[in-house]
Amino acid sequence: MSISKTRQHLVDVARQMFAKNGLENTTMNDIAQASGKGRRTLYTYFKSKDDIYYAVIESELERLSDKMDEVAAKKIRPQDKIIELIYTHLSMIKETVMRNGNLRAAFFRNIWMVEKVRKHFDEYEIELFRTVYSEGKNKGEFEIESVELVADITHYCIKGLEVPYICGRLGNGLTTETSKPMVEKFVYGALGKTIIK
């Protein structure tokens, strides 16, 4: 097994252990045994449990980045791309948190720890929004003065919606199908354009 495959295997096993038993109830020894690699191999890649926890978060954020890249690569209008990016972000964050079982508690409790690891993803996402907003502005779809400011606001608004969305407190009783036209109207209005069908 190559170095990168071994490291990824350890991260995958750690994620499963954290999801099943929780962060506090999982030891480095547990991860080493479950991986079949031994403590020496584990400590070759990770100095501590926090170190491997950060790697788990990074791995989960890479999954989100990959999905966002798929949306960004679609040959659709920028206004449709923005809406799809918003829904992809929220649904992938929710799926990630729900998929990780007992790790959910650690996610909410250690939000500053998660934020530290998330910094690169946040920068990546803001840049992605800037690209789509620039494209939309150049095509006359958006009437915005500062692409940078609108990208920042979009990112931080979506980030602020994560916990209510995950907990089911956002749009109580609404489905994606029923909420999407309302979200489109709100977002397109903020971008200075009416919906183009």
pLDDT in tens, 178-189: 777 788 888 877
Between residues 115 and 56, which one has the greater pLDDT?
56
The CA distances from residue 1 to 6, 29, 61, 116, in Å, are 6, 21, 24, 30
Task: Give the max Cα distance, the chain.
Answer: 60
Angle at 23 between CA 22 and CA 28, to 5 degrees: 120
Are the CB atoms for 93 and 165 separated by under 8 Å?
yes
Give the Cβ contact number of residue 133 at 10 Å: 24
54-68, 107-121, 130-144, range with the lowest pLDDT: 107-121
Tell me how crowded residue 106 is: count the other CB atoms within 10 A of its CB. 20
pLDDT, the chain, mean: 85
* Residue 135 confidence (pLDDT): 95
Q: Is the model more confident about 99 or about 16? A: 16
User: Which residues lie below 8 Å from residue 108, measured CB to CB, with a gap of 6+?
Assistant: 163
For residues 163 and 29, what is the distance between their CA atoms, to the nearest angstrom?
32
Tell me how far CA of residue 44 lies from CA of 3, 4, 65, in angstroms: 10, 12, 27
- Find the distance separating the first CA and the last CA of the chain, reported in whole Å: 51
pTM of the model: 0.81
Q: Work out the average pLDDT over 94-123.
A: 73
Q: What is the mean pLDDT of residues 63-92?
A: 93
